[in-house]
Amino acid sequence: MSIVPHIVGVLVLLLGVIVSVGLHELGHMIPAKKFGVRVSQYFVGFGPTLWSRTKGETEYGIKAIPLGGFVRLVGMMPPAPAGARRGTGFWGELVADARDASVAEVRPGEEHRAFYNLSTPKKLIVMFGGPFMNLVIATVLLAVILMGYGMMVTSTTVAQLSECVPASVTSTASGDDCEGQPAAPAVAAGLEPGDEIVTFGGTEVTGWQQLVGLINESAGSESEVVVLRDGERTTLEVTPAPADRPVVDERGAPVLDADGEPKVAQGGFVGFSPLQEREPQPLSSVLPAVGDQTWQTLTMVATLPVRVAEAATQAFTSEERSQDSVQSMVGVARISGEIMALDEAILDRVMFFLSLLASLNIALFAFNMIPLLPLDGGHLVNALYEGGKRTLARVRGSAALPGPADVARMTPVAYVVFLILLGVGGVLIVADLVDPVRIT
């Protein structure tokens, strides 16, 4: 098997990551400049600089490792509070050095352009701009997929017939499976593959779930069925056989009981499986899809320690790696390569890749919203804390409002979080190399 498609898939993913990261950083930089903050650097990537050019007061460039990026907003940390002593010890010196480095970037006479002097609403806009840009990217990609390409939906067209009433209504049956079993109502009624069910029992059929409900309500009773066959309407009579059917939700997913087993309820069985068709979705479906995927990703981030432990356990034991296992960029890159190597139409592979890139941008949004420095969520929490103190001071009628929050004091937290993230990334990279998630 040629390795070229895999390489192309990885390279295309890297390009998608670079563009996503670049737009994320623009989401920070544009409002920061709009509010007067001096932005000294805008870089995509980490490590050694491959290319850079200074335009105005900002240096723009690309670094060697295309797995991140940054914008340097001058004055992220305010000077030490009046009368404060320089810290001692390892952590104290760390805080003092971080504060000094930030203050040194502020040019004399430009203190008003330092980030720490922005109002709380402006700080929130600047720091949320990056993650919000990832949401915008994901929304655009999902709109292209849902509206332009569509999604598989269960139609009301007959795809395959069951010759008899099987032991399980979730499958079709024929041949030896039908020995001693009664004929399926669909066969007895004369239904044929390709028939599109228009009405059932006098009710116009608008969708598969509605049709299932009509069949369940008509168990044991003869009902008139109108089908569209070769462009003409044909009327048939069918009597659904009473049968236990799995209970499903509005999306067609099985409903589980307290023991995790699928719930069943008395219903009817006709004996055909529906045709799966790709159908473009309306604009109104895009935001709910983004919201649903974002919520699932936020839930995964909230349970990240557990998910990382599960991934490590599955990778280093005989337990199979689950399809929804959390992955590192190594695992995502591998899947991207597999997508390009699939024996599918090029449009299907492109849409699969766009879906992967949309999921990656939603993951970037969710990950950056973790309320700890050095992530964007940590800066958002700091801005809210600062704004809360000032609001409380106004309510109390204080003559002087509190100054900017002393962000430098959180430097040890930022270092610890950074080290934890490095450790988590290392564990997931090893897991993805030892026992990668495989697509089907």
Q: What is the predicted pLDDT for the residue at 170?
A: 53
Q: What is the predicted pLDDT for the residue at 250?
A: 63
Higher pLDDT residue, 84 or 168?
Answer: 84
Lowest mean pLDDT among 135-149, 204-218, 238-252: 238-252
In the chain, the N- to C-terminal Cα span, in Å, equals 17
**237 Cβ contact list (under 8 Å, min separation 6):** 189, 222, 223, 224, 225
How many CB atoms neighbour CB 58 within 10 A?
Answer: 16
Flag whether pLDDT at 172 surpasses 60.
Answer: no
Flag whether pLDDT at 371 surpasses 90.
Answer: yes
- pLDDT band per the 50, 70, 90 thresholds, residue 61: very high
- pLDDT band per the 50, 70, 90 thresholds, residue 179: low
Flag whether pLDDT at 247 surpasses 80.
Answer: no
Flag whether pLDDT at 400 surpasses 90.
Answer: no
Q: What is the predicted pLDDT for the residue at 360?
A: 93
- The arithmetic mean of pLDDT across residues 47-55, rounded, is 93
pLDDT above 70 as % of the chain: 94
Flag whether pLDDT at 55 surpasses 90.
Answer: yes
**106 Cβ contact list (under 8 Å, min separation 6):** 74, 75, 113, 114
C-beta of residue 228 within 8 angstroms of C-beta of residue 183 = no
- pLDDT band per the 50, 70, 90 thresholds, residue 252: low
Q: What is the predicted pLDDT for the residue at 130?
A: 95
Please state, rounded to an integer, the average pLDDT across all residues of the chain: 87
Which of the residue ranges 52-61, 266-275, 428-437 has the most confident prediction, judged by mean pLDDT?
Answer: 52-61
Lowest mean pLDDT among 67-81, 99-113, 162-176, 198-212: 162-176
Catalytic site residue 25? yes
Lowest mean pLDDT among 73-87, 220-234, 257-271: 257-271
Tell which residue, 170, 163, 270, has the closest CA to residue 215.
270
Flag whether pLDDT at 6 surpasses 90.
Answer: no
- The arithmetic mean of pLDDT across residues 67-77, rounded, is 90
CATH of domain 152-279: 2.30.42.10
- The arithmetic mean of pLDDT across residues 162-185, rounded, is 66
Flag whether pLDDT at 330 surpasses 90.
Answer: no
